[in-house]
């Protein structure tokens, strides 16, 4: 517009000046209107997602924060109790620390195992094989089914005393183990269920492996490097950004784990798999202590936040980016 | 072309959004949910439209149970809807495990069914949360004359309101595999005590390492532990004023029974049992006939005996132990289940009519038989006995249990948080993680804290 105005100024005609200015204004407002219309359509397109975000995430998110300061029981009107829920959790509730401890153990076992297993399978599937795409699909399957109750039920049947696992080991005369009934073992069995859902991490590792330039391996081979050596000095460092990403995602997920422990052992035996999520559920839906459960969920949120920040901070020392990794 | 495309896509999005909203929309709560008003309004409706066809209604009815109960209830619903074509009843049924959580979530979310089967021990904690069920006394549609008024008043009336109707009367009994008992030389006339359960259980297990006398899950250990304690104290487990009804020494005796039972081999080790907690009839050892006895409500008799693979095995029912020097019996008797009507239901009147039919109509009585325990009404009991539809064993067991019955359990005793502490402690003893003495200390300490909290909430 300024250019137009300048132009008309040079021509020296005042009237024209106004005309052009008006015209350009009109044109501008027209494009504005069009843009507005497009924006409106765009919003319409993303509306389902936006509504989902507001109704199913943002609203419960805020509501639970407010409820965490009340004695909300779902059926009665909540009344404000200040920090009582938080204080009770830390000072009175023995199960709180117990379930936190179990959850940390679970995260420490399940996440590294899952990542290692995902990487292992990704390495295998990275080998040029016939039907490799078929295998990649097959190996991804457990992840699609993974979170479902059906798989957890299957797990129960596999690992119960009369289950398939004990049947197979009995062939080798190994005595039957109570994989889920023994308080000392049950948590590991539940962790295995998580490890089995390695698919999404595996796909990311696979993509990462494909991105590593083959020249590096060729050069290493020329220099006479062994396979393990190549893995340690080429593959692993170049995969660290993906390890980092997977670590964060899986850790966040593992802290919130619920389905497996709920369906397979329901927190038992003798509270051995009483994960934090289960305690939260029990308080909220079995004992009607929604306010208390909300406080619990915010503590979990803070813990996950803190752990994620720690991993982020530590990543400076162990992730490696070819381009320097400024992010 | 472009414009058409845009139009189509906009329409698509709007339709998606519309379904989303419809899906989310909660049924508008009725104003003035007071049931008497509602009943009166409905009655007025009826008189107004005497000649007009009744309004079509769809109701939801939820219950838990085993196959025989499901089949009979579905048949009853079909019979009722055939007679009342304007009524449609959607059945929501399944196992016991998880039913309570589902129900509470539905009640909180305002999506609870119109008619709900509720367990009696849940009533105190549910009704303390609010006015959830219609006071049956206010409903003209239901004829209460056939019920024992004393029972309704003492067990199902809370805050002066009759919360629901009892489907049956039940008391703790024991089922046993008669065929296997003969094989092991156990007399059917054995007078069971808490001690000889362990002694005979030990002998059985010594004879055959694969076999255990008792099939117990944690809830049943809880019954036994409490029965032993109550016999000694003559008090409620938790008194009405939220104090403990026992001291450590007596509790230790109750917990020691659990340890003895496990150590002697009278029961399966906890490691093997725990996966079938709350669904003991699915325990493979029970199915294979390797567990000979179960302690349970008579209403579970069919479910438990039907799940045993060997159909030739004969079953009978015997009385739950009572010690000779007991101050009070530990046998619990109560309503088998309670049929409640949702206070927020849009069809209270129709729901009441259906319930009235279920309890009082001859056809319904004959269809439902004893799938919810021996019926609570005299009329139904007589009808079923006359037509030989009642299992003689169940009737006998129920009669014995009622004769031996202790006081009905009070509300605080059945608080879900306290029961959860029991479950914890019982497992700690069963797994040998704690001695009965240490476990008693822990139970008393945790109970004391929780009871203070519960009392403060009152």
Q: Which residue has the higher pLDDT, B150 or B337?
A: B337
- Rounded mean pLDDT of A260-286? 90
- Rounded mean pLDDT of B313-338? 90
- Rounded mean pLDDT of A296-312? 95
Nearest alpha-carbon partner for B169 in B326, B327, B400, B414: B400
What is the per-residue pLDDT for A84? 92
Q: Residue B16: which of A48, A178, A182 has the nearest Cβ?
A: A48
What is the per-residue pLDDT for A325? 53
For residues B141 and B152, the answer to whether their CB atoms sit within 8 Å is: no
Q: Residue B431: which of A47, A270, A282 has the nearest Cβ?
A: A270
pLDDT band at B27 (very low <50, low <70, confident <90, very high): very low
The dihedral sign for the CA sequence A59, A62, A64, A66: negative
pLDDT band at B420 (very low <50, low <70, confident <90, very high): very high
Residue A173: pLDDT above 60?
Answer: yes
Q: How far apart are CA B103 and CA B92, in angstroms?
A: 11
- Rounded mean pLDDT of B297-324? 90
Residue B34: pLDDT above 60?
Answer: no
Q: Which residue has the higher pLDDT, B107 or A147?
A: B107
- Rounded mean pLDDT of B286-307? 91
For residues B57 and B88, the answer to whether their CB atoms sit within 8 Å is: yes
pLDDT band at B52 (very low <50, low <70, confident <90, very high): low
What is the per-residue pLDDT for B29? 40
| CA of A65 vs chain B CAs: smallest distance (Å) | 19
Query: Which residues neighbour B183 within 8 Å (Cβ) at sequence distance 6 or greater?
Result: none
pLDDT band at A125 (very low <50, low <70, confident <90, very high): confident
Residue B195: pLDDT above 80?
Answer: yes
Q: Could you tell me the two tokens for B142?
A: 């239901």
Query: Which residues neighbour B56 within 8 Å (Cβ) at sequence distance 6 or greater?
Result: B86, B87, B88
The ipTM assigned to this model is 0.80
Nearest alpha-carbon partner for B197 in B170, B218, B221, B179: B221
- Rounded mean pLDDT of A98-115? 95
Residue A150: pLDDT above 60?
Answer: yes
- Rounded mean pLDDT of A300-307? 96
Q: Do the strands B168-171 and B212-215 form a parallel or antiparallel pair, or are they unpaired?
A: unpaired
Interface probe with A: pick from B13, B130, B275, B452, most Cβ of A within 10 Å: B275
What is the per-residue pLDDT for B305? 92
Contact (CB<8Å) B427/A74:
no
pLDDT band at B3 (very low <50, low <70, confident <90, very high): low
For residues B101 and B154, the answer to whether their CB atoms sit within 8 Å is: no
Q: Which residue has the higher pLDDT, A183 or A20?
A: A183
- Residue B115 pairs in a beta bridge with B61, B341
pLDDT band at A311 (very low <50, low <70, confident <90, very high): very high
For residues B110 and B26, the answer to whether their CB atoms sit within 8 Å is: yes
DSSP-assigned letter for residue B320: P
pLDDT band at A107 (very low <50, low <70, confident <90, very high): very high
Residues of A in contact with B416 (CB under 8 A): 286-287
What is the per-residue pLDDT for A287? 86
User: In angstroms, how far is CA A158 from the centroid of its own chain?
Assistant: 27
pLDDT band at B38 (very low <50, low <70, confident <90, very high): very low
- Phi then psi for residue B188, to 5 deg, are -70, -20
Contact (CB<8Å) A269/B271:
yes
Residues of B in contact with A161 (CB under 8 A): 271-272, 275, 284
Nearest alpha-carbon partner for B364 in B386, B351, B348, B380: B380
Q: Could you tell me the two tokens for A287?
A: 């004992």
Q: Which residues of chain B are at the A interface, by a Cβ-Cβ cutoff of 8 Å? A: 6, 9-10, 13-14, 16-17, 20, 24, 100-101, 104-105, 107-108, 125, 129-130, 132, 270-275, 277, 284, 416-417, 420, 424, 427-428, 430-431, 433, 446, 449, 457
- Rounded mean pLDDT of B38-48? 46
Residues of A in contact with B441 (CB under 8 A): none
Query: Which residues neighbour A285 within 8 Å (Cβ) at sequence distance 6 or greater?
Result: B101, B104, B105
For residues A29 and A1, the answer to whether their CB atoms sit within 8 Å is: no
Residue A11: pLDDT above 60?
Answer: no
What is the per-residue pLDDT for B129? 81
- Rounded mean pLDDT of B5-26? 53
Nearest CA in chain B to A38: B6
* Residues B238-273: tens digit of each pLDDT: 999 999 999 999 999 999 999 999 999 999 999 999
pLDDT band at B149 (very low <50, low <70, confident <90, very high): confident
For residues A294 and A80, the answer to whether their CB atoms sit within 8 Å is: no
pLDDT band at B8 (very low <50, low <70, confident <90, very high): low
Nearest alpha-carbon partner for B441 in B249, B224, B233: B249
Report CA-CA distances (Å) from A202 to A128, A140, A254, B190, B191: 16, 8, 16, 63, 63
Contact (CB<8Å) A181/B275:
yes
Q: Which residue has the higher pLDDT, A17 or B284?
A: B284
Question: Can you tell me whether residue B244 is helix, strand or coil?
Answer: strand
What is the per-residue pLDDT for B370? 84
Interface probe with A: pick from B24, B95, B123, B271, most Cβ of A within 10 Å: B271
Q: Residue A74: which of B13, B108, B270 has the nearest Cβ?
A: B108
Residue B161: pLDDT above 60?
Answer: yes
Residue showing tokens 């993906």: A242
Average pLDDT taken over every residue of chain A: 85
Q: Give me the percent of chain A exceeding a pLDDT of 90.
A: 50
Q: How far apart are CA B278 and CA B99, in angstroms?
A: 12
| CA of B259 vs chain A CAs: smallest distance (Å) | 15
Residues of A in contact with B431 (CB under 8 A): 183, 269-270
Alpha helices in B172-329 (DSSP H): 178-184, 194-207, 218-233, 248-264, 270-273, 284-287, 301-306
What is the per-residue pLDDT for A127? 84
Residues of A in contact with B433 (CB under 8 A): 183, 270
* Residues B335-388: tens digit of each pLDDT: 989 999 999 999 999 999 999 999 999 999 999 988 888 888 888 988 998 888
Terminal CA-CA length for chain B: 69
Contact (CB<8Å) A92/B449:
yes
Q: How far apart are CA A223 and CA A51, in angstroms?
A: 58
What is the per-residue pLDDT for B47? 45
- Rounded mean pLDDT of A71-96? 89
Q: Which of the listed ranges A119-133, B357-371, B393-407 does the model predict with the highest average pLDDT?
A: B357-371
* Residues B166-188: tens digit of each pLDDT: 998 889 999 999 999 999 999 98
Q: Give me the percent of chain B exceeding a pLDDT of 90.
A: 58
pLDDT band at A28 (very low <50, low <70, confident <90, very high): low
For residues B300 and B319, the answer to whether their CB atoms sit within 8 Å is: no
Residues of A in contact with B273 (CB under 8 A): 181
Q: How far apart are CA A70 and CA A72, in angstroms?
A: 5
- Residue B158 pairs in a beta bridge with B161
**Up-side HSE of residue A318: CA atoms within 13 Å toward CB?**
14
Q: Cis (ω within 30 of 0) for the bond into A269? A: yes
Nearest alpha-carbon partner for A268 in A187, A148, A208: A187
What is the per-residue pLDDT for A196? 83
């Amino acid at each position: 517009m300024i250019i137009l105005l300048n132009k008309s100024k040079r021509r020296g005609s005042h009237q024209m000046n106004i005309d052009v200015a008006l015209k350009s204004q009109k044109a501008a407002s027209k494009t504005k209107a069009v843009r507005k219309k497009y924006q409106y359509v765009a919003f319409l397109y993303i509306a389902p997602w936006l509504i989902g975000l507001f109704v199913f995430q943002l609203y419960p998110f805020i509501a639970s924060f407010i409820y965490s300061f009340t004695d909300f029981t779902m059926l009665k009107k909540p009344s404000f109790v200040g920090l009582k829920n938080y204080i009770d959790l830390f000072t009175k509730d023995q199960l709180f620390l117990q379930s936190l401890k179990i959850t940390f153990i679970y995260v420490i076992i399940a996440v590294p195992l899952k990542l290692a297993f995902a990487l292992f399978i990704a390495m295998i599937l990275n080998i040029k094989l016939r039907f490799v795409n078929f295998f990649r699909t097959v190996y991804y399957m457990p992840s699609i089914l993974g979170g479902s109750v059906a798989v957890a039920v299957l797990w129960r049947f596999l690992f119960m005393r009369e289950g398939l696992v004990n049947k197979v080991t009995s062939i080798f005369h190994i005595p039957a183990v109570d994989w889920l009934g023994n308080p000392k073992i049950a948590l590991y069995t539940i962790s295995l269920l998580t490890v089995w859902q390695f698919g999404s991490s595996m796909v990311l590792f696979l993509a990462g492996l494909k991105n590593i330039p083959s020249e590096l391996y060729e050069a290493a081979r020329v220099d006479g490097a062994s396979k393990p050596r190549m893995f340690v000095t080429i593959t692993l460092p170049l995969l660290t950004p993906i390890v980092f990403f997977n670590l964060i995602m899986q850790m966040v997920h593992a802290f919130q784990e619920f389905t497996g422990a709920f369906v397979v052992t329901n927190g038992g035996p003798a509270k051995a798999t009483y994960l934090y999520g289960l305690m939260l559920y029990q308080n909220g839906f079995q004992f009607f202590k929604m306010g208390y459960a909300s406080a619990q969920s915010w503590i979990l949120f803070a813990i996950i936040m803190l752990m994620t920040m720690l991993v982020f901070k530590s990543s400076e020392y162990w992730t490696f980016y070819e381009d320097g990794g400024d992010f | 072309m472009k414009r058409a495309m845009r139009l189509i896509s906009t329409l698509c999005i709007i339709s998606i959004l519309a379904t989303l909203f419809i899906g989310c929309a909660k049924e508008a709560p009725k104003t003035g949910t007071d049931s008497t008003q509602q009943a009166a309004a409905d009655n007025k409706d009826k008189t107004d439209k005497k000649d007009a066809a009744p309004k079509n209604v769809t109701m939801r009815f939820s219950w838990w149970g085993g196959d025989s109960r499901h089949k009979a209830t579905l048949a009853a619903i079909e019979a009722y809807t055939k007679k009342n074509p304007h009524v449609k009843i959607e059945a929501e049924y399944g196992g016991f495990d998880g039913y309570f959580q589902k129900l509470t979530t539905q009640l909180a979310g305002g999506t609870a069914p119109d008619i709900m089967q509720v367990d009696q021990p849940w009533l105190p904690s549910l009704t303390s949360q609010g006015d959830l069920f219609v006071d049956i006394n206010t409903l003209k549609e239901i004829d209460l004359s056939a019920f024992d008024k004393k029972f309704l008043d003492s067990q199902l009336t809370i805050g002066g309101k009759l919360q629901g109707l009892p489907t049956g009367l039940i008391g703790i009994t024991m089922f046993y595999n008669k065929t296997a008992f003969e094989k092991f030389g156990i007399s059917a006339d054995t007078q069971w005590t808490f001690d000889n359960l362990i002694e005979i259980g030990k002998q059985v297990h010594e004879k055959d390492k694969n076999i255990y006398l008792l099939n117990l899950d944690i809830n049943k250990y809880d019954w036994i532990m409490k029965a032993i304690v109550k016999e000694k104290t003559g008090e409620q487990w938790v008194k009405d004023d939220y104090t403990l009804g026992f001291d450590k020494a007596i509790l230790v005796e109750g917990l020691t029974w659990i340890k003895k039972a496990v150590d002697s081999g009278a029961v399966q080790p906890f490691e093997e049992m725990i996966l079938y907690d709350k669904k003991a009839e699915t325990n493979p050892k029970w199915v294979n006939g390797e567990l000979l006895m179960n302690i349970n409500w008579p209403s579970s008799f069919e479910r438990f005996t039907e799940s045993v693979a060997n159909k030739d095995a004969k079953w009978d029912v015997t009385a739950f132990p009572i010690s000779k020097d007991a101050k009070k019996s530990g046998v619990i008797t109560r309503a088998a289940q309670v049929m409640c009507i949702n206070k927020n239901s849009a069809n209270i009147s129709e729901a009441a009519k259906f319930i009235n039919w279920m309890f009082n109509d001859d056809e319904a009585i004959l269809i439902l038989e004893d799938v919810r325990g021996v019926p609570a009404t005299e009329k139904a009991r007589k009808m079923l006995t006359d037509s030989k539809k009642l299992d003689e064993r169940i009737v006998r067991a129920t009669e014995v249990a009622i004769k031996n019955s202790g006081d009905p359990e009070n509300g605080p005793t059945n608080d879900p948080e306290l029961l959860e502490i029991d479950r914890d402690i019982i497992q700690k003893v069963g797994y040998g993680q704690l001695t009965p003495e240490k476990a008693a200390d822990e139970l008393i300490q945790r109970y004391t804290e929780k009871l203070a909290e519960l009392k403060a909430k009152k």
